[in-house]
Structure 1
Amino acid sequence: MRPLVMYDLIFDSGQLAARVVFVGTRCSRDNLLRNYRTGSIHFVRSGRAEVLTGQGAPIRIEEPSLVFFPLGCPHWVRAMDDEGFDLVCAFTSYGEGFSQAISLSFPEVLVMPLARLDGIRQLLDAFFAEAASQAPGSRQLADRLCEVVLGYIARHALESGRCAAGALAGASDPQIAAALRAIHTRYPTALDIDALAAEAGMSRSRFVERFRAVVGTSPHDYLTHYRIGVAQQLLRRRVPVKTVAGRVGYTSVAAFVRRFKGVVGLPPAAWAG
């Protein structure tokens, strides 16, 4: 299987987004827990810091590193020395259709020395320069560069074995990757377990067992969450519920509404507001 399949499955539709929210020096007084509602990535460029989540021992940062929380999580990053540390922070988000894959794939927190990303040193330098610049368009450029960095982080996490489950792990399994590709590209069609097993070239029972072991959930649940995630994207764009139902593979609006409420907790119209 060619290495680019992982990107084909996860990032080919521009489903990663980043927004730079802080550039500067943090000192020892900055030690308050924040309940982040979205994913976040902290680049410790110099100095020593520690990351606390309120659970377990602090994570000590002794060299320039990034700290990535893929999903919202209470945490804070504080200085270990009086002179503080240089920091660039960004909030991250994902297209709804990929949220299930991301949440299943990454550990709760990923710490990576920047030296391990030496292959994209020029990209990182450009990102940091644009994040700190006041020139017109610099912040937008920094956001786009950060999204590219996220792609490299995902690939590094996959290749280093940090993604024990989820679509990123499944992308390295040729048979499961074939089923994931079918879900990601043919979710509006009448996919079922037999069709997905055929894509994987496996018997139904063996496919279900293997999919759950690799991805961390059943193929039926993954397909359902993927469809509902895409539906949420469409609803945010004010596409009518009836139209959304058909676009994500439901021939019955009533069935779509029941499934949406079962996953999200609200009917689609109420969720969209």
Structure 2
Amino acid sequence: MKPQIERIVHWLLSGLELQSTVFHVGQYCGRWQASTSDKGLASFHVVLHGHCWFKRPDTGECTRLEAGDTVFLLRDVPHVLSPDAEMPAADAPIQRIGTMTPLTASTVVGTGLACGFFAFDAMPGELLLSMLPDTLIVRSSSPSSESARAVFDLIRAEALRDSETPSALIARLTELLFFYALREIAERDDTAAGLWSLLKGSEFSSLVEAIIAEPGHAWSTDAMAAHAHMSRARFFKRFVEACGQPPAQFLTLIRMKMAAGMLREGVSISRAAERVGYQSESAFAQAFKRVTGAQPGALRRMPSSSLVH
């Protein structure tokens, strides 16, 4: 990863709070179907042993997962995991089939899974979610996943502990695995539209770094186009193609992430507004509420965990 891109990725991940809970840990054999759909939550599935197929009836996606692979669903989307590649009908209700049995080192059968849910801190979680696909898959076979494989080994060791209640460490380790997933996406060449693909172009990564360095600068679309050495029309078109959203909307997201960090550190609302380019405190408050769902004053009073949704 280029140093410039790495600095931006580290900045984006700084302050990101992810809270995971384990739904169940065990193994399936025979005919089975698992899902975390229809809960209104982001979720994950870690394949502890064996293999299975991850299927999304709404998109037709059907992907084989091997031991060590993890799929993160950043939004509540219809999906199933099963031992075969047969795709359920798009209009069929999502149902769990089969019985999950306890996972033990002495009896390993079928497919072992650790499944659960997670939620982001409202900011910068919203910034991330707006720029990422619905699903992220961490492949244990990926050359860049050596560190992620070490985390998976720890997850599996915790899953094999002789306990009726899943180890709380599985959730914490899964959170760590998610960070590796984000870093891997930033390094991939087939990244979908969003911040990661935006960083692939040197003209855009330089612009993003400049915005982060000087969020209070008068970053009009014309100013951003000039920084990228493009005409306004060409810049706007290429930016939307790469990022999936207009430059002004992206700028607001970046500014609100920075403002959220300032407010948590005790910076006054008026000072935070000024530092991210707002002369009017009321205009800043409106933008902040629109992006984060919370008033700036509430963010200064609340611990960050109370804003997870």
Smaller-chain TM-score range? 0.7 to 0.9
Matched, 1:70 2:74: yes
The 3 A distance-change label for structure 1 pair 268 and 49 is: same
1:110-162 C-alpha deviation (Å, 9 max, x unpaired)? 3344222552333432344356669xxx846x556544433432343344433
The gaps in structure 1 that reach 5 residues or longer are none
- Counterpart secondary structure, 2:22: strand
- Counterpart secondary structure, 1:115: coil
Which residue among 31, 43, 50 is the counterpart of 1:40?
A: 43
Deviation (angstroms), 1:29:
6.4
- Counterpart secondary structure, 1:61: strand
The 3 A distance-change label for structure 1 pair 132 and 159 is: same
Matched, 1:114 2:135: no
More helix by share: 1
Structure 2 matches for 1:104-253, cutoff 5 A?
A: 104=131, 106-116=132-142, 119-120=146-147, 121-130=149-158, 139=168, 145-231=173-259, 241-253=269-281
Matched, 1:61 2:87: no
- Counterpart secondary structure, 2:71: strand
Question: Do the aligned residues in 1 keep the contact of 2:137 with 2:181 (CA within 8 Å)?
Answer: no
Deviation (angstroms), 1:75:
3.9
Give the match for residue 20 of structure 2: 19
1:83-134 C-alpha deviation (Å, 9 max, x unpaired)? 5521233525366236334432x33223344222552333432344356669
Deviation (angstroms), 1:217:
1.5
1:43 is matched by which residue type in structure 2?
V
- Counterpart secondary structure, 1:89: strand
Question: Do the aligned residues in 2 keep the contact of 1:235 with 1:268 (CA within 8 Å)?
Answer: yes
The whole-number CA distance in structure 2 between the counterparts of 1:16 and 1:6 is 21
Which residue among 231, 242, 257 is the counterpart of 2:285?
A: 257
The whole-number CA distance in structure 2 between the counterparts of 1:212 and 1:31 is 37
The whole-number CA distance in structure 2 between the counterparts of 1:168 and 1:58 is 22
Deviation (angstroms), 1:222:
0.5
The gaps in structure 2 that reach 5 residues or longer are 85-97, 100-108
- Counterpart secondary structure, 2:130: helix
Give the match for residue 99 of structure 1: 126
The whole-number CA distance in structure 1 between the counterparts of 2:175 and 2:81 is 21
1:124 is matched by which residue type in structure 2?
F
How many correspondences in the alignment?
Answer: 268
Normalised by the size of structure 1, how large is the TM-score? 0.74
- Counterpart secondary structure, 1:67: strand
The whole-number CA distance in structure 2 between the counterparts of 1:210 and 1:149 is 32
- Counterpart secondary structure, 2:279: coil
The whole-number CA distance in structure 2 between the counterparts of 1:58 and 1:208 is 31
- Counterpart secondary structure, 1:34: coil
Matched, 1:86 2:112: yes
Identity, % of aligned positions: 27
